[in-house]
Amino acid sequence: DAMVIQNPRYQVTQFGKPVTLSCSQTLNHNVMYWYQQKSSQAPKLLFHYYDKDFNNEADTPDNFQSRRPNTSFCFLDIRSPGLGDAAMYLCATSREGGATQYFGPGTRLTVL
Amino acid sequence: GIQVEQSPPDLILQEGANSTLRCNFSDSVNNLQWFHQNPWGQLINLFYIPSGTKQNGRLSATTVATERYSLLYISSSQTTDSGVYFCAEANSGNTPLVFGKGTRLSVIA
């Protein structure tokens, strides 16, 4: 089945230690999104790629970076995680901008 | 910016009951989606519905774009319907979805 896969499902890191979260998709969609969701809050868009074009939300901290080496994969790099970065990180894809979004299962990040 | 308001914020139902969740939005709609987030955090797309009415099993949704609201109907609710329901809207194909704060639904047996 076509799907969006995120690895790992759970990630524990130490304060200030860089971490990379992975997302892959078999849907061959053009657009890939990264959202941050904190407890009891709505998902918040960090950035998205339309093909290779990177679009950063204005309020996304510089601490967060992303890479999309090919259509199928997208990575979220947190350069120096703080306690406030503990959250669920959700990857989503859509065929085009404005189309239905399909989410992966998420990576729950804990920062010690 | 676009405002998306959902009501009610919390809802408790007896299994088998019906419910209506509402989403009001402040701007013209190009893209409106309803999602269900299960207790494990997975977001499932329920409907892509910028206008009109759609049905999928026990769920249906209606968006009245001219009046800037959308409704999600759940009939004969089951315990597996529990979770948080999010409405998300964008006013063009090139702008990101803005999520409401969600409705937390608990269905009890």
Q: What is the DSSP letter of A39?
A: T
Task: Decide: helix, strand or coil at residue A85.
Answer: helix
pLDDT per position as a tens digit, B73-83: 999 999 999 99
**β-pair type (A10-13, A107-111):** parallel
Query: How close are the terminal C-alpha atoms of chain A, in Å?
Result: 36
**Alpha helices (runs of H) in B17-73, residue ranges in sequence order:** none
Which of A67 and A98 is assigned the larger pLDDT? Answer: A67
- Flag if B93 and A102 touch (Cβ within 8 Å): no
Q: Residue B102 and residue A102: Cβ atoms within 8 Å?
A: no
DSSP state of A4: E
Give pLDDT tens digits for A28-83: 999 999 999 999 999 999 999 999 999 999 899 999 999 999 999 999 999 999 99
Using CB atoms within 10 A of its CB, is residue A103 exposed (0-12), middle (13-18) or buried (19+)? buried
pLDDT tens, residue by residue, A2-24: 699 999 999 999 999 999 999 99
Residues A60 and A54: their CA atoms lie apart, in Å, by 13
DSSP class of A32 = E
pLDDT of residue B50: 93
Residues of B in contact with A100 (CB under 8 A): 33, 45, 48
- The DSSP code for A84 is G
Cα A85 to Cα A11, A23, A37, A103: the distances in Å are 12, 18, 10, 20
- Answer whether B42 sits within 8 Å of A106, measured CB to CB: yes
Residues 6 or more apart in contact with residue A100 via CB below 8 angstroms = A94, B33, B45, B48
Query: What is the identity of the amino acid at A17?
Result: K
| Residues in chain A closer than 8 A to B91 (CB atoms) | none
pLDDT digits (tens, 9 = 90+) for B15-62: 999 999 999 999 888 899 999 999 889 999 999 999 999 999 999 999
Residue to mutate among A6, A36, A94, with most B CBs inside 10 A, is: A94
Mean pLDDT confidence for B87-95: 85
Task: Give the DSSP letter string of B77-103.
Answer: --GGG-EEEEEEEESSTTS--EE---E
What's A34's DSSP letter? E
Tell me the β-bridge partners of B60: B55, B73
Side-chain half-sphere of A10: how many Cα atoms within 13 Å? 2
User: What is the reported pLDDT for A20?
Assistant: 97
